[in-house]
A and B are shown apart, each in its own frame.
Chain A
């Protein structure tokens, strides 16, 4: 039974939006963040991201496939989940999901097809039996791999990535909008919310790719490319600065304005969310990575690859924690304060088992990696031997 302190309405103490609603923006954030990275190469021509352009597109696609799952698990009537896809409308923010998600999924799926088309054609030529039929069908029975056709692919990919980037931003911006547009709750209701969600999505996506890239490099016994690691660290630092600044600005605005909601929000931050906001989101997950990445960016040329990789991965892991705690503090924090703005309920502890429990959340986080593994089996993310150093597992630079 939750404890109540202060003047809270008796019917005001239920956390309806559970851990799954924390996982929803967390997973959607990876989709948008990864797509930003792949677009940096495909749209903006940042060559340093070429080694992870495919990896980030695959990550975006795999996370996108399960982005609706947390919502589905949260529904009291899961069989009605399909209606958000087939009857989208604009009278509720949530009902826009169907349009945004479907459109974005089509764009990412198309981009995946064009990016991997040459590999599909090669596989269709090489494979035998049923596998050959599968790849032939995937190639849509056209096998034009001439330079002219590749040039067409390149143009189409640029257009798709160019459309996909604003779509990714809209998909995640709208997740922030869902909270930002709830005017009855002062902890949520701010136009900054979609922007903060979007920037932290970029942070989480780039942080995830920094970690995955290092792990994949280790597994492939191929050194992580120095320009790629440095660029990831640089962009991560850039987005982190913006995110932390906006997250702090939101609090500073509230504290400076001192309107009627500050009384309860200040209590919320210093009591119920003291650990998850101040300790995790701001210090462990915010300040420490800010310093670590600052060192990587500013002392980059003096740094040994091993140290650079280590610091970037350490900062990225902390940032994955930071973004999760940010989602937690927004979603759960907003439900701990009473509509009276004078009372708080005790903190929310999610169940371990059950469809909205901790184990389910862990399973949700692991699933996209399983999907990425299966994706790699079907459409190899790295070509065999690409960038690999035979018999050598150490990480380092290929461009020194």
Chain B
């Protein structure tokens, strides 16, 4: 035992370290951890309240963008909400005044997101093999040269 003093010392250090860890853990672990499962229970309530709806719906666009709205009603995108392509518009207009700009995405990737040929899509859904369909270079605005996105014709 006389020659094992260092073993007891390091064991003491270990006990102190574990105690410090347990103590610090109580400070770091959120109070609501484990309320519902192995995560912070308070997060469920926070997420429900913090994230306000950002979408305004297509009806909100009509009053200012009447022409585009009219075009959309007659074309192939009539079932596609404005915000699908333009993004959430909840903070674009508030109390009748424009509050935030809505940048317009003219990239071919936006169109390709739905219309790129993928075997997994329904057969009748309009879709193209980009390299074969586009004779020019694949660049921003290339789809808009032939298609009107508000009222696309096949």
Contacts and interface: CB of A to CB of B under 8 A. Distances in A.
Contacts of A151: 3
B151 interface: no
A384 B33 CA distance: 52
A117 B6 contact: yes
A86 B25 contact: yes
A343 interface: yes
Given A8-B120, A110-B14, A149 B6 contact: yes
B5 A142 contact: yes
> Which of B7, B14, B33 has the most chain A CB atoms closer than 10 A to its own CB?
B7
> Which of B2, B6, B10, B29 has the most chain A CB atoms closer than 10 A to its own CB?
B6
B73 to A, nearest CB: 26
A144 B118 contact: no
A1 B109 contact: yes
B122 to A, nearest CB: 11
Interface in A141-185: 141-142, 144, 146, 148-149, 151-152, 156
Contacts of B4: 149, 152
Interface residues of A, number: 35
B7 A146 contact: no
Nearest to A106: B14
Contacts of B99: none
Contact of A95 (B13, B25, B38, B118): B38
Contacts of A148: 2-3
Interface string A11-52: 010000000000000000000000000000000000000000
A329 to B, nearest CB: 24
Interface of B: 2-7, 9-10, 13-14, 25, 28-29, 33, 37-38, 109, 112, 116, 118-121
- The 5 residue pairs across chains A and B that have the minimum distance between CB atoms: A148-B3, A7-B119, A149-B3, A140-B9, A89-B38
